[in-house]
Amino acid sequence: MEENSLREQLLREDFPQIADLRNQVHISYWSDYHLISQSLLNSLPFGRSLGPTTFYQYIDYQFDNLLIEARRNLLFWSLSGANHFNQTPVTQTTLFFDETFFWHYYIPVRTREITEALLQGNRIRFLSRFCLSQAQVELEFNEIRLHTMETGTQLVYCHSKEYTYK
Query: What's the pLDDT score for residue 85?
Result: 84
pLDDT tens readout for residues 108-148: 999 999 999 999 999 999 999 999 999 999 999 999 999 98
Rounded Cα distance, 87 and 141, in Å: 33
Q: Beta partners for 97? A: 27
Contact 160, 142 (CB under 8 A): yes
Number of structural domains (the chain) is 1
Contact 123, 158 (CB under 8 A): no
Q: Which domain holds residue 35?
A: 2-165
Query: What's the pLDDT score for residue 5?
Result: 84
Q: What is the largest CA-CA distance in the chain?
A: 71
